[in-house]
Structure 1
């Protein structure tokens, strides 16, 4: 019986090779930021309000004209097929059936059109801008034509974080495992059989562009060779290619929130990339209040990194966030049970959120702001 996300994490650790588990669960350098995300969320408390009518409880919210069943969704997770083949499609399908949003990573392993078709709910496209902007233009065009509803520009990866566990394992693509990795893979025969039948994961949405091959594009993404000349003025370029909402993911500094407002960004995602980039970065929940002081209610502000329980989502909403996104928790469910595992994880978090709201005396997400201490 799995009662919480930690149970799913334990199950994932048992059914994945060590190098895959470490890829999903690990962080940058000493993993201090990774630990801060959880520690700061756990330390935060809320004050329940008494004698409040919660008999007509609703967790639903409206975002960009679409209704979400609850104020959380699935964060982009790159290279998720190493967890389970067709992972993007399976997770997107589970999110859509639950009435929750799904963000597809640029580093996905399934064609973006296929993922969009599988997702019944809100589906957003995450974008990395690499040195070859023609590749970004191609993804933008395809995502718009496929019907993705919002664009999520990720800005916290100008260079790849120093993920020591991946380096020690020799985990990289193209995948050429040495003796130790082969033994690791052989220790999980079910995982190995699924991977053998599906073939080596590829970044299938990185199409060849003028002056760059697909292989070069994949190498650039793996090396995190991003366009470090990308600046706020380039928002105009994104607007010219994308007609829907544009969000910035990776904001931690209040002045960047102010800049986002000045440049007409439609939403923010407060994120430290799950502790996988800058190890000395603050936790996202500690950065949220200063950003909300700038943004107030002008645009929706979302948050990710470290969210494991419905109570975590409630804490974020109490301090002003519109919603939260979960990454690792979904990957753990996917590892354990495929689409069904993702559905179970999302359902578990939804149940925890409902129970937390009732105990706090909050009949709807908007009521949670009254529970700040």
Structure 2
């Protein structure tokens, strides 16, 4: 079946369609990881080691998938993760994803380096969304962005701590996004790639403007394209940040604080000690330090260490509602998905994200029923085995 005529049923289906629709450098930006992409592969492969325990002859005529995340009612234990440069994947993609998330009853998280601004996302609806931020060298900018977010109704801050330096991503180097391509390479990854994807060029390249980092536009007035913004952001990443800086952040942010990028029980405890109500077990989708453990394999030790004191979520490798079930069984309050919704919005826009979230919920509900549980709270370590 031709890919473009495929009726998508899974994350992989959306990925295949997105690969056809996107210029190569953008697809690789979303699809790729650091170095040899070992951790990227581990993130998904390690889910298959978690075996659901099927149970029969239970009354599963009514299965409820709803729960709470960060004090917010959600239709299932899932949120859309922040995706940098999301608006390059589809026309005003973050807006489309927010609409789909609202309709599905799950939280949407806006990235610091999104194309659409906080203000544009807030205008979608009065339903709250989460905001992700990095620690920038200029603390005045951090404070100002936080004030903007608060004024727009954001009450959950997802603070990323695993980006002191940017991981070595070979695909981005080859495509010129990381600045390492030759002049010929930049032509191949730029204009020629655009011309070979005329639908994307018209819908996103022309109709999807402006291609600025909406949240940062006023701080980088000379920038005219995402590459220039990336360079500015790269120079703003503060490699000197410690938990003392998170304590400062806690003192200036009035809402709930999630620390994203924890990959050890020790760091999770430090995050809670610095004032975080939630921690997100994450290796940045395999995009930072290659060779580290998968997020799902680290989850149980983090839950054991801080699960009584803080909400524990995870991201990385979640590709289905069955994976959501597996993560919940290992103690996660919920999961965040990034690549999945990025592929879906690139493939089918808002309808793609809606279809993806509908599939996730059906898969999650099916896994619950076939494992004999009817409420999210009943999903425990007894619902799975590990190989």
Is the aligned partner of 1:180 residue 2:188?
yes
Q: What is residue 139 of structure 2 aligned with on the other side?
A: 133
TM-score relative to the length of structure 2: 0.90
Instruction: Verify the 8 A CA contact 1:99 1:120 in the aligned structure 2.
Output: no
The CA deviation string for residues 293-344 of structure 1, in whole angstroms up to 9 with x for no partner, is 1012322111111111111000000000000111111011101111111111
Match of 2:253 among 242, 262, 267: 242
Pick which of 254-263 and 348-357 moved more: 254-263
Corresponding residue for 1:272? Answer: 283
Determine if the alignment matches structure 1 residue 325 to structure 2 residue 333: no
User: For 1:169-226, what per-residue CA distance to the aligned partner results, in whole angstroms no more than 9, with x for missing partners?
Assistant: 11269xx9843122221111000112123336211211556xx866499355542641
Aligned to 2:206: 196
Cα distance in 1 for partners of 2:333, 2:128 equals 15
Shift of 1:121: 4.1
CA contact (8 A) 1:151 1:247 kept: yes
Deviations 1:33-52 (A, max 9, x none): 10000110122212123333
Q: Deviations over 1:256-313 (max 9, x none)?
A: 1111222231001111111111112210000001101101232211111111111100
Quick one: structure 1 residues 273 and 295, their matched pair in 2 at CA, closer, same or farther if it must change by over 3 Å? same
Structure 2: any 5+ residue segments left out of the alignment? 1-6
- The alignment partner of 1:70 has SS state of coil
The question of whether the paired residues in 1 share the 8 Å contact of 2:69 and 2:77 is answered with no
Change in Cα spacing, 1:53 to 1:316, as seen in structure 2 (3 Å) is same
Q: Are 1:353 and 2:367 an aligned pair?
A: no
CA distance in 1, matches of 2:361, 2:104: 10
> Structure 1: where are the runs of 5+ without partners?
none
SS of the aligned residue for 1:81 comes to: helix
Distance 2:313 2:230 in 1: 30
Number of residues of Structure 1 aligned to a counterpart in Structure 2: 370
Find the residue that maps to 1:118 and give its secondary structure. Answer: coil
| Structure-1 residue corresponding to 2:117 | 111
Structure-2 residue corresponding to 1:158: 164
Task: String of CA shifts for 1:69-116, please: whole Å, max 9, x gaps.
Answer: 111110000001211121111101110111001111000111102212
CA contact (8 A) 1:95 1:119 kept: no
1:206 matches 2:212: no
Question: Do residues 26 (structure 1) and 32 (structure 2) align?
Answer: yes
Structure 1: distance between partners of 2:278 and 2:228: 28
TM-score by length of 1: 0.94
Q: CA offsets, 1:223-250, max 9 Å, x none?
A: 2641122211223321232111001000
Give the match's secondary structure for 2:15: helix
Matches within 5 A, 1:1-373: 1-119=7-125, 121-171=127-177, 178-181=186-189, 182-194=191-203, 195-199=205-209, 201-208=211-218, 215=223, 218-223=229-234, 225-369=236-380, 370-373=382-385
